[in-house]
């Protein structure tokens, strides 16, 4: 049984990925400093899988203690690196915090992996690296140019990708898979793990479910005058469990397949663009709950439309995001009901 280290493994996407790794037969060690997650997540993982993963309450910026985790688990064969700060708005307010955490954590990790001869890393990147793709690049594939980042957070993802490429160039035995997530939503169907709200949500789905639950009075739809069929923005919303499964495929590939490129980049999306208004209608249909919403002005810095061409992940990883939208939206609602 191969052991995988998962940084940020008690977080939203990390916890769902730990579940899928365990169910696929991997042993898992989580490193998380609990800066944006809760220790109770471990119980949820155990209830779903019957296995409690090894947990290390360690900050990736703390080189000594991070390094010691690799001493304690000499059988680590690969790392999935989720740990990062991820709030776009906060990154504009506190850029140094974002550069320190998101760059420092990866630099420490790559250094420590090299010391311990751990050669496989999967990295959480984001569709934010594409910015607003030009019309001829929609749906966007992995060869589309990266655009100047609109936030320090987005910039850290671009620099992280570059750091991995530079290190792979210098260290020929390092293998990397860079996964560019589109918009992850939903929760595990058991409703035992999901996304933990942190104050007033910025992301659409937590705002939708909190409004449905009566925690927020009204959802504000940011703009209906975009150049899209119904005027609201379009995104590629991907179910977090489908997303988690792609990580298992990426790890399987790194551990078992020859003839890979040293650094591979995959979009993780559904290939389907949905508007904000379609999400609202879909939520109402899936749950039977009426949403109180109003159209307001555009949100500064919003991208009009972006969705993925996911053929590379479909064909090379043998993975497809195929959970129906109503099941995804229902899972988000069931998780919200458990929280409230
Ligand atoms: P999350 O905040 O739920 O999870 C991140 C986890 O990392 C948290 O548990 C946090 O406590 C931990 N962490 C942060 N800094 C750490 C440090 N220095 N040391 C140890 N642990 C640390 O976020 P998420 O939504 O699960 O995102 C996971 C990754 O995916 C992040 O890298 C994020 O940038 C990326 N991503 C997220 C989205 C999204 O919309 N959720 C989209 C694209 C990419
Ligand atoms: C989705 C759509 C809003 C809230 C962000 C990050 C990006 C990535 C994913 C990490 C947009 C609209 C939202 C609301 C609304 N994260 N909306 N009312 O902006 O695509 O991306 O999360 O890498 O980097 O920027 O996601 O969920 O904030 O918005 O109308 O109350 O919902 O305008 O069209 P976004 P989002």
Instruction: List the pLDDT tens digit at each of the 340 positions of the chain.
Output: 899 999 999 999 999 999 999 999 999 999 999 999 999 999 999 999 999 999 999 999 999 999 999 999 999 999 999 999 999 999 999 999 999 999 999 999 999 999 999 999 999 999 999 999 999 999 999 999 999 999 999 999 999 999 999 999 999 999 999 999 999 999 999 999 999 988 999 999 999 999 999 999 999 999 999 999 999 999 999 999 999 999 999 999 999 988 899 999 999 999 999 999 999 999 999 999 999 999 999 999 999 999 999 999 999 999 999 999 999 999 999 999 999 8
SS3 305: strand
Query: What is the Å distance from ligand 1's center to 36 Cα?
Result: 8
Instruction: Tell me how far apart the alpha carbons of residues 15 and 19 are, in angstroms, rounded to a whole number.
Output: 6
pLDDT the model gives residue 139? 98
Among the bound ligands, the one closest to the CA of 273: 2
Tens digits of residue pLDDT in 175-206: 999 999 999 999 999 999 999 988 999 999 99
Cβ of residue 276 lying under 6 Å from some atom of ligand 2: yes
DSSP state, 266?
E
pTM, two decimals, is 0.99
Strand 3-7 with 76-81, pairing: parallel
Instruction: Tell me how far apart the alpha carbons of residues 108 and 66 are, in angstroms, rounded to a whole number.
Output: 8
Kindly provide the residue ranges of all beta strands, DSSP E only, lying in the chain, ordered along the sequence. Answer: 3-7, 27-31, 54-56, 76-81, 120-126, 175-181, 183-185, 219-222, 234-235, 237-239, 263-268, 274-275, 293-296
Catalytic residue selected from 26, 153, 226, 237: 153
Cβ of residue 272 lying under 6 Å from some atom of ligand 2: no
Query: Between vectors from CA 241 to CA 337 and to CA 80, what angle results, nearest 5°?
Result: 120
22, 49 contact by CB (below 8 A)? yes
């Amino acid at each position: 049984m191969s052991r995988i280290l998962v940084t940020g493994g008690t977080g939203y996407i990390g916890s769902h990925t730990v579940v899928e790794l365990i169910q696929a037969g991997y042993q898992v060690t989580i490193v998380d400093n609990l800066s944006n997650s809760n220790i109770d997540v471990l119980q949820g993982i155990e209830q779903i899988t019957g296995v409690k993963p090894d947990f290390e309450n360690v900050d990736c910026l703390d080189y000594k203690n991070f390094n010691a985790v690799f001493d304690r688990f000499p059988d680590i064969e690969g790392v999935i690196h989720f740990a990062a700060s991820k709030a776009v708005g906060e990154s504009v307010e506190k850029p140094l915090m974002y550069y320190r955490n998101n760059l420092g954590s990866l630099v420490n990790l790559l250094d420590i992996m090299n010391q311990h001869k751990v050669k496989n890393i999967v990295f959480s990147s984001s569709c934010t690296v594409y910015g607003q793709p030009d019309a001829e690049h929609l749906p966007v594939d992995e060869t589309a140019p990266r655009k100047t980042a609109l936030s320090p957070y987005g910039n850290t993802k671009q620099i992280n990708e570059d750091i991995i490429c530079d290190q792979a160039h210098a260290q020929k035995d390092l293998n990397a898979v860079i996964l560019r997530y589109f918009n992850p939503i939903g929760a595990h169907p058991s409703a035992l793990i999901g996304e933990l709200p942190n104050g007033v949500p910025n992301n659409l789905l937590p705002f939708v479910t909190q409004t449905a639950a009566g925690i927020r009075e009204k959802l504000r739809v940011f703009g209906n005058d975009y150049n899209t069929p119904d005027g609201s923005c379009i995104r590629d919303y991907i179910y977090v469990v489908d997303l988690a499964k792609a990580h298992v495929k990426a790890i399987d590939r790194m551990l078992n397949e020859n003839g890979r490129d040293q650094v591979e980049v995959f979009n993780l999306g559904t290939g389907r663009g949905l508007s904000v208004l379609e999400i609202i209608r879909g939520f109402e249909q899936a749950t039977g709950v009426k949403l109180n919403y109003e159209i307001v002005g555009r949100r500064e810095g919003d991208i009009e439309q972006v969705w993925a061409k996911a053929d590379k992940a479909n064909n090379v990883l043998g993975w497809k995001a195929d959970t129906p939208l109503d099941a995804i939206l229902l899972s988000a609602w069931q998780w919200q009901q458990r929280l409230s």
